[in-house]
């Protein structure tokens, strides 16, 4: 079986009062202490490229910003490859869906204990948990909500199934005719073919990996179906919505 090439796709947003970072990927401390922070099994199974220049921090600095310019971090979930860079931005408020934070802090299942690494947030992030009470409907998704303290065009979008409290993050980008929504779907899917409206497809290895990693199969498949519906609609009536996942290398290349 051919090994897949994956990425850790983070999204940086220029907001009026500072930067907003969606997910943090693997951080500098993960690279310095990989076994302790990522786990030996993860290192053997995933074989991540531990290059400091690929961290979100180095990318932010490369754009001419300082770490404290990142005022807010919004997490799709708290798996180790999404939160390792939290310590690189210690002054940022960290926005997360409440059940995801609860599952990470107090894991109730073996899967939750395996996927969450407490050392990655032992520095004491400025957590800002959110609930879905009062959310609204957005492009076919229910219980979507804006985040207090952030621009109103940064939204948490429920995409359940991969992990407890998994969400997508939607951001309105551009101006005028170039305005479009970007939907960072986290780990709701791993391969772009899974969101094809007519003939969805995923390589066997990634399909197996997703089944092994999922918290709940039904909601995960429902989330993928919603993303396919969204993509089908946007092809006809709403071309200003671009959906991408956290790990698809082809989507990453297309957007960079």
The 3 state secondary structure assigned to the chain is: CCCCCECCCCEEEEECCEEEEECCECCHHHHHCHHHHHCHHHHHHHCCCCCHHHCHHHHHHHCCCCHHHEEEEECCCCCHHHHCCHHHCCCCEEEEEHHHHHHHHCCCCHHHHHHCCHHHHCCCCEEEEECCCCCEEECCEEEEEECCCCCCCEEEEECCCCCCCCEEEEEEECCHHHCEEEEECCCCCCCHHHHCCCCCCCCHHHHHHHHHHCCCHHHHHHHHHHHHHHHHHHHHCCCCEEEECCCEHHHHHHHC
Domains of the chain: 11-255 (3.60.15.10)
Count Cβ atoms below 10 Å from residue 244 Cβ, excluding itself: 22
φ, ψ (nearest 5 deg) of residue 95: -90, 130
How high is the pLDDT of residue 239? 53
- Average pLDDT by stretches of 10, the chain with 256 residues: 81 94 98 96 94 98 97 98 98 96 92 92 96 83 91 94 96 83 97 94 94 95 95 64 95 91
How high is the pLDDT of residue 175? 78
- What are the tens digits of pLDDT across the range 166-211? 999 999 988 776 788 999 999 999 999 999 998 999 999 999 999 9
How high is the pLDDT of residue 2? 57
How many angstroms from the chain centroid is the CA of residue 7? 12
Q: Report residue 15 as tokens.
A: 């907001």
Contact 55, 85 (CB under 8 A): yes
Instruction: Please provide the size of the chain in residues.
Output: 256
CA dihedral of residues 256, 179, 20, 69 (deg, nearest 10) = 80
Q: Report residue 222 as tokens.
A: 């429902």
Strands of the sheet containing 141-146, edge to edge, are 136-138, 141-146, 154-158, 167-173, 180-184, 241-244
How high is the pLDDT of residue 111? 85
The pTM of the full predicted model, rounded to 2 decimals, is 0.94
How high is the pLDDT of residue 1? 47
List of residues 6+ apart from 55 with CB closer than 8 A = 25, 26, 27, 28, 31, 85, 88
How high is the pLDDT of residue 232? 78
Distance of alpha carbon 195 from alpha carbon 138, whole angstroms? 18
């Amino acid at each position: 079986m051919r090994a897949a090439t994956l990425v850790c796709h983070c999204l940086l947003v220029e907001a009026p009062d500072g930067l907003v970072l969606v997910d943090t990927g693997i951080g500098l401390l993960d690279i310095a202490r990989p076994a302790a922070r990522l786990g030996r099994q993860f290192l053997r199974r995933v074989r991540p490229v531990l290059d400091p220049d690929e961290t979100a921090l180095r990318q932010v600095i490369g754009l001419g910003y300082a770490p404290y310019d990142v005022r807010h971090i919004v997490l799709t979930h708290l798996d180790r490859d999404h939160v390792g860079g939290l310590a690189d931005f210690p002054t940022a408020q960290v926005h997360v869906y409440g059940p995801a934070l609860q599952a990470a802090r107090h894991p109730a299942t073996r899967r939750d204990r395996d996927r969450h690494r407490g050392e990655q947030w032992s520095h004491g992030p400025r957590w800002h948990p959110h609930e879905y009470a009062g959310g609204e409907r957005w492009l076919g998704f229910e219980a979507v909500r804006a985040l207090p303290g952030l621009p109103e065009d940064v939204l948490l979008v429920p995409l359940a199934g991969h992990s407890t409290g998994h969400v997508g993050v939607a951001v309105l980008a551009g101006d005028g005719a170039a305005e479009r929504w970007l939907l960072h779907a986290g780990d709701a899917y791993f391969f772009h073919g899974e969101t094809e409206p007519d003939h969805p497809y995923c390589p066997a290895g990634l399909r197996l990996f997703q089944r092994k990693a999922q918290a709940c199969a039904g909601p995960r498949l429902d989330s993928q179906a919603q993303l396919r519906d969204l993509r089908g609609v946007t092809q006809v009536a709403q071309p200003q919505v671009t959906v991408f996942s956290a790990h698809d290398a082809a989507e990453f290349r297309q957007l960079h």
